Structure 1
C-alpha cells in the first residue's frame, strides 16, 4: 500500500496510523495472528479502494460505478475468505434464521452508498418511497438513544430490511452483518426472548475480525482520499439517502460524497 495519497490540491496526505498492537500478545498467539490479519486486510482494502476511485492514469471515468465496484470487490473478498474457513464448531447461521436481524447495525459511507445503488436497481419508485417513510419512522424512534440503549431495545426493533422472513438486501448487506456469527441458535433466540442484549452468544472471532478489517479498510481508504469517513446506523443512513425524491437523492448524495462533501454530516431531519 502506498504510504501517501494525493488530495485534489495535489498535496501529499499522510496515511492513517495503523492501530497500535497489543504488546502483551505473543506474535504467535491466535489473538495476535487475527490482529495481524485484520490489519493486513484493512491496508489491502484501503489500497484497492483508492486505486479504483483515483487510478494512477487519471480521474475515474465513472466515479459512481467505481465506488460500486470497489465496495463489491471488498464484499467479494470477505465472502471468499469466510467460505474458506473450516470452523469447529460450525456456524449455526443459515437461511431462514433471523434472530440477529433484530439489531440496528452501523455501516460506513461506502457501504451506505452501495446499498443505495442496490436499492435503485431492485425497487420501484413506489417501494422506495415506502421504504423512505419506514426508514424515517425507525430513525425517529432511535433519535436521542445511545448505542447501549438501542442494544437493549434490539428485540423490539427488527432490521429495516427484514422482509418475508429473510434479508431483502442480502447481496448488499453491510460488513457488520457479514461478520455477525453464532455457533448456537438457542443463544440468539434467548437473547431476543429475554430482552437482554447482553446475553452471551458464542461466536468465532475470526469471522468478525475479517469483516471488521475490511470495513476498516473502506474507512481508511475514504479518509486518505479526503472523503468523509465514519459510521451511522443503517436506518439513519437509509433515511438520509431517500430524502425527497429517493432516486435523485441516492445519485446526488453519491456524487456529492465522491466530490468531498459530507454525507452523514449534512443537516437533515431525524
Structure 2
C-alpha cells in the first residue's frame, strides 16, 4: 500500500471511529452497528469504481463453509433476529436456532483451516440462500469474489486461490477495527468471536446483552482473537495519539 493510501486508510479509520464513538454515546450499540453496515455499503460502492464486478449472487454459497467471526453487537442483533423470525420460519419447517446449535456442536474449537477442511455449510444457508442476509456480520459482507467458479473450485479443493475483492476486504477491515476501537473506548468487550458458539451463548442467556452493556463479556468463551488483542489495543492508542 502506498503512503497516500495508508494515510487515506488511517483518516477513514479515524473518521469512522469518531462517528461510532458518538453514536455509541447517544444512540447505543445497535444503531452504531447499523451505521457500520450502511457505511460499508456506501464506501464499498465508491472503492469498487473501476474494479472488475463481483460475481456473488443469490444461490451462490461456495464460501459459506468458512469460519465466521463477529463482534458482540453483531451477535446480539443476530440473536434477536433469530428469535424474531423463528415462528415464521418454523411454519415452513425451518429451525435456524436448532441448526446453529447443531453447527456449534460440530465445529466448536476448529480453527480456520480445519473448518474449511470439514466443508460444513453454514447453518443459515438453506437451499443455497442465506436466511440471515439482512443481518449478516461485517466479515460476511466483506468477503466477495470476482469469480464464482473459482469459489466453487476452491470449496471442492481443486484450487487454492480465489480472486477476492480487495476493496470489500479493506473497507470491512477498517470499519470493523474502527467499531472495535469505539467499543473499547466505551469500556465494552470489543473482541471477535466465533459466530456459532457466540450465538449459542447469547441465545442461552437472556440477559447476555445487558451484561455486555454493563462491561462484562458473556461471550468470552467464544473468543478467537485473544492473542492479538494487546497488539490491537496498542495500535488503536497509537492512531488516536
TM-score, normalization by structure 1: 0.72
CA contact (8 A) 1:226 1:260 kept: yes
- Cα distance in 2 for partners of 1:27, 1:141 equals 44
Q: Which blocks of at least 5 consecutive residues in structure 1 are unaligned?
A: 1-24, 61-65
Q: Which of 140, 151, 160 is equivalent to 2:116?
A: 151
- Aligned pair count reads 218
Q: Which of 25, 31, 37 is equivalent to 1:69?
A: 31
1:237 maps to what in 2?
Answer: 198
Superposition CA RMSD, Å: 2.4
Q: Counterpart of 1:124 in 2: which secondary structure?
A: helix
Which protein has the bigger helix share? 2
TM-score, normalization by structure 2: 0.80
Which 10-residue stretch deviates more, 37-46 or 204-213?
Answer: 37-46
The correspondence of residues 90-239 of structure 1 with structure 2, limited to 5 A, is 90-124=53-87, 127=90, 130-153=95-118, 156-194=119-157, 199-239=160-200
CA contact (8 A) 1:45 1:221 kept: no
Return the offset for 1:115.
Answer: 1.6
Q: Which of 214, 217, 221 is equivalent to 1:259?
A: 214
CA contact (8 A) 1:38 1:212 kept: no
Return the offset for 1:39.
Answer: 3.1
Bigger Rg over Cα? 1
Which 10-residue stretch deviates more, 158-167 or 69-78?
Answer: 158-167
- Cα distance in 1 for partners of 2:178, 2:72 equals 12
State the Cα deviation string for residues 61-82 of structure 1 (Å, max 9, x = none): xxxxx22211111101101122
CA contact (8 A) 2:67 2:194 kept: yes
From the superposition, tell whether residues 71 and 165 of structure 1 become closer, same or farther in structure 2 (CA, over 3 Å).
same
State the Cα deviation string for residues 186-232 of structure 1 (Å, max 9, x = none): 11010112277xx1001221221001111111111111111111111
Q: Counterpart of 2:220 in 1: which secondary structure?
A: coil
Return the offset for 1:159.
Answer: 1.1
From the superposition, tell whether residues 261 and 178 of structure 1 become closer, same or farther in structure 2 (CA, over 3 Å).
same
CA contact (8 A) 1:38 1:214 kept: no
Return the offset for 1:134.
Answer: 2.3
Return the offset for 1:118.
Answer: 2.5
- Cα distance in 2 for partners of 1:118, 1:38 equals 32
1:18 maps to what in 2?
Answer: none
